[in-house]
Amino acid sequence: MEELIDEMIIGKIRSLMVKFPEIIGYDRKLRNGKIRVYTSKSEIQNITVKSIKVKGKEIPIEFFYIGNVRALGD
Amino acid sequence: MDSRVQRFRPLVGGISIGHKNITAGTLGCFVEDINGKIYILSNNHILANENDAKIGDEILQPAPYDGGKIPDDVVGKLYKFVEIKFPESSCLLSSIIVKILNFISKILGRKTRFKIYSTEYPQNEVDCAIAEPTVEINNEILEIGKPKGSARVKEGEKVMKSGRTTGLTEGEVISESVDVKVWYSKGQALFVNQILVRTNVQGGDSGSALVNKDGYVVGLIFAGTEDGSIGIANHIYKVEEALGVKVCTR
């Protein structure tokens, strides 16, 4: 069973989404101890944040490129 | 293009359908309320034109993009939809600044205009709507059959969908707990607790029911990645709760 991330972490990821619009989503469960973040661009060198610190503990971020997500009307 | 974009009577799941003012989407499956009244299930952006439709608006099969016309192809009336919430700003200061900037831009003869938006995204859980059918229906999903009901999705399970554009495709659930921003014609909207499924989806597949190998509907597809390799679906139990219906099994 993967652990659900708490609202404090979600708040921090949401702040990153505002700062870096290429971050378009994230998983609410930790995957192998990492926060899974989805991006719309494959080139993410400008995103220098590699982990989120919560209660003194650094949780690494794993970036997954999926591209933009669109509603599927034709 | 196969027959999924052609006229189907009686109606079945997996075929072209849409509000009179949209392009095309998919009829997912049929649902019923506590009184046993049966409805067509698809997305808000397919049956309710991204919140712009009025209750009672005509629903066409095939959809307008596939040649559907009023009155010959009207198969139902919009009955209910869950509004998609987009970020909007109510900040008075920003509003005044933007009005001044747009006034200056107009005076200078520029074609550019400024618009305010909030960086706070309201949360959505579903993109769904139902329509009251006015023609005969057959409670089956094309190439899948009659749904056995609804169920909670499990990560890693094999699923399938029957869509207007890509037909019957199989896939695997990657996650059932994703928050993601989705592009609509009105802008981006944030959806929380969504299902991520590795499968083939394209424009026009919106509204397809996501069905597990046991024949239970687990999700409602509404979005996908640009390369068509990942679909995003609402949890069907959230759709049922929001619309006050259950997947029809009779």
CA distance B244 to chain A (A): 23
Distance between start and end Cα atoms, chain B: 30
CB contact under 8 A, A70 and B165: no
Q: What is the ipTM of this complex?
A: 0.95
Q: Chain B partners of A26 at a C-beta cutoff of 8 Å?
A: 178-179
Interface of B with A in 21-80 (CB under 8 A): 22-25, 43, 45-46, 63, 65
Q: How long, in residues, is chain A? A: 74
Q: At A65, is the secondary structure helix, strand, or coil?
A: strand
Alpha carbon of residue A28 to chain centroid: 9
Name the average pLDDT for chain A: 92
CA distance B34 to chain A (A): 30
Q: Chain B partners of A73 at a C-beta cutoff of 8 Å?
A: 18, 22-25, 45-46, 203-204, 206
Q: At B193, is the secondary structure helix, strand, or coil?
A: strand
pLDDT of residue B11: 98
- B164: nearest CA partner in chain A: A74
pTM: 0.92
pLDDT of residue B192: 98
Across the interface, of A69, A73, A74, the residue whose CB is closest to B181 is: A69
CB contact under 8 A, B25 and A72: yes
Q: Which residues lie across from B230 on neighbouring strands?
A: B198
Torsion sign, CA atoms B141, B144, B148, B152: negative
For residues B190 and B87, what is the distance between their CA atoms, to the nearest angstrom? Answer: 9
HSE-CB at A49 with a 13 A cutoff on CA atoms is 16
CA distance B13 to chain A (A): 16
Give residue A1's pLDDT band: very low, low, confident or very high (50, 70, 90). Answer: low
Residue whose token pair is 């094309």: B142
Q: Which residues lie across from B178 on neighbouring strands?
A: A27, B194
Q: What is the dihedral of CA B144, B16, B85, B247, to 10 degrees?
A: -30
Q: Chain A partners of B182 at a C-beta cutoff of 8 Å?
A: 69-71
Q: pLDDT tens, position by position, for chain B (250 residues)?
A: 458 999 999 999 999 999 999 999 999 999 999 999 999 999 999 999 999 999 999 999 999 999 999 999 999 999 999 999 999 866 788 888 988 999 999 999 988 888 776 777 899 999 999 999 999 999 999 999 999 999 999 999 999 999 999 999 999 999 999 999 999 999 999 999 999 999 999 999 999 999 999 999 999 999 999 999 999 999 999 999 999 999 999 9
pLDDT of residue B247: 98
Torsional class of B199: left (φ above 0), alpha (ψ -120 to 50), beta (otherwise): beta
B147 interfaces chain A, CB cutoff of 8 Å: no
Residue whose token pair is 């990942």: B230
Q: Which residues lie across from B11 on neighbouring strands?
A: B137
A25 interfaces chain B, CB cutoff of 8 Å: yes
Q: At B28, is the secondary structure helix, strand, or coil?
A: coil
> Mean per-residue pLDDT for A34-50?
92
> Mean per-residue pLDDT for A18-46?
94
Across the interface, of B119, B178, B225, the residue whose CB is closest to A27 is: B178
Q: Chain A partners of B165 at a C-beta cutoff of 8 Å?
A: 74
Residue A21: how many CB atoms within 10 A of its CB? 13
Report which of B249, B38, B11, B233 is spatially closest to residue B147, judged by C-alpha positions: B249
CB contact under 8 A, B206 and A70: no
CA distance B25 to chain A (A): 5
pLDDT for A66 beyond 80: yes
pLDDT of residue B8: 97
Q: Chain B partners of A28 at a C-beta cutoff of 8 Å?
A: 177-179, 192-193
Residue whose token pair is 């687990």: B218
Q: Is the bond leading into B71 cis (omega within 30 degrees of zero)?
A: yes
pLDDT of residue B24: 98
B144 interfaces chain A, CB cutoff of 8 Å: no
